[in-house]
Amino acid sequence: MNSQWISHLSLLRYLDLSHVELHHVSDWMEVTNSLPSFVVLRLSDCNLSFNSIPSIHHINFSSLAILDLSYNYYYSENTSIPKWVFNIRSLTSLDLSYNYFIGPISEGIQNLTPLTHLDLSENRFNISSIPTSLYGLSRLEFLDLGSNQLSGTILSDINILTSIISFDLSSNELEGKLPTVGTQICKLKEINLSDNKWNQSISQVLDSLCGCVSDGLEVLDVCYSQLFGSLDCSQIWKFKALTQIDLCLNSINGPIPASLGNVLSLRYIDLSSNHFNGCLPESFGQLAKLEKLYISNNYLEGNISEAHFAITTKLIWLFAFDNQLTLDVSPTWIPPFQPEGLFLGSFNLG
């Protein structure tokens, strides 16, 4: 394939060649670099070989705002992020996910100060901590570092990211106590800390997300994070905006606080594979927006009555097996929800 035809489109502002085979097109970088009017360039899943790109002495992308080079992992083995990327100082969105880039994240990334969206997930960055150069990108709203090999702790420098809305650190090897972020990162809506080695109590995690974060946080995922301790009802009620809470595959114990059933915005609750005991709070029956509830593989006991489903008309998935729960409803009771998946396992019938 020859890409020279693109060079004749001097006013081209948007180019999307995603899913087009470009592995044997050696001049794709030279050609695209010759067009200064680009605002959006998408080359996702093109089988690009970053190692074969010739040295570029001058980057001509003076207007480029969005660059997507994701899913080019086929020929990117043992490759670092191309240096020319860090010279495109007009970028507001950069997607380098699924490329299997290795080694540290270049300090050159601090040059991209306009960035609001940065996706570095599904690579093999194996540094001992999140580089401070990332914390310097104060305009970031979306930052995804999931599925890498990051280790060490999160520094309090995270509080510099005052514009952050979505932050994903899942599937790494991070550990240690989370810094308190509740007084600076007030715009945070989603945080994914799952599949790490935090090894601390769930109360410590919730404490780190205090203040204005707890007021606006919508998604909290700390599944499979070596968490322990019990849920404090006085902490849970502060997270009034939550739509999703995922605490699965930890060692959290004690009763499920009734205050969780008072977070009326909840759509998704996963408490499965923990050490929760006691009864399921009847307050869950007031979660009118609840769509998915996972409480399997715990030590819950007691009755599940009609009150537990009072106004849960949107519930479509309910997993409650491997507990000691008794379903205590009248023979004529008709549930208000229409489940697609109802897995009660060894539920006792009252």
Q: How confident is the model at residue 260 (pLDDT cuts 50, 70, 90)?
A: very high
Q: Residue 273 to residues 24, 247, 250, 257, 283: CA-CA distances in angstroms? A: 48, 9, 7, 17, 21
**Average pLDDT of span 204-222:** 93
Q: How confident is the model at residue 350 (pLDDT cuts 50, 70, 90)?
A: very low
Q: Which of 157, 174, 191 is the last residue of a domain?
A: 174
State the pLDDT at residue 222.
Answer: 98
275: left (phi over 0), alpha (psi -120 to 50) or beta: alpha
271 and 182 in one domain? yes
State the pLDDT at residue 35.
Answer: 78
Predicted confidence (pLDDT) per residue in 44-85, tens digit: 999 888 876 666 667 778 889 999 999 998 766 668 888 889
R_g over Cα of the chain: 24
**What's the rounded Cα separation, in Å, for the pair 154 and 208?**
12
> What is the domain extent for residue 24?
1-174
6 and 101 in one domain? yes
Beta bridge partners of 152: 174
State the pLDDT at residue 33.
Answer: 77
167 and 246 in one domain? no
Domain count, the chain: 2
Query: For the chain, what is the total number of helices (H) and then of strands (E)?
Result: 5, 24
**What's the rounded Cα separation, in Å, for the pair 215 and 218?**
9
Predicted confidence (pLDDT) per residue in 92-135, tens digit: 999 999 999 988 888 899 999 999 999 999 999 887 778 888 98
213 and 142 in one domain? no
Pick 52 or 177 by higher pLDDT: 177
DSSP alpha helices (H): ranges in 217-312?
A: 233-236
Q: Which of 174, 191, 210 is the last residue of a domain?
A: 174
The whole-chain average pLDDT of the chain stands at 89
**Average pLDDT of span 287-313:** 94
Q: How confident is the model at residue 349 (pLDDT cuts 50, 70, 90)?
A: very low
292 and 276 in one domain? yes
The fraction of the chain above a pLDDT of 70, given in percent, is: 92
CATH number reported for the structural domain that contains residue 347 in this entry: 3.80.10.10
Cβ 328 vs Cβ 350: under 8 Å: yes
State the pLDDT at residue 182.
Answer: 67
**What's the rounded Cα separation, in Å, for the pair 12 and 74?**
28
- DSSP E strands in 126-256: the ranges are 142-144, 151-152, 166-168, 173-174, 190-192, 219-221, 228-230, 244-246, 251-255
**What's the rounded Cα separation, in Å, for the pair 156 and 159?**
6
Q: Which of 121, 152, 174 is the last residue of a domain?
A: 174
**Average pLDDT of span 314-326:** 90
State the pLDDT at residue 132.
Answer: 85
Predicted confidence (pLDDT) per residue in 270-299, tens digit: 999 999 999 999 999 999 999 999 999 999
Give the pair of three-digit tokens for residue 293.
């509830």
Nearest to 221 by CA among 189, 251, 253: 189
State the pLDDT at residue 142.
Answer: 98
Please report the sign of the dihedral spanned by the C-alpha atoms of residue 10, residue 15, residue 20, residue 21: positive
CB neighbours of residue 47 within 10 Å: 18
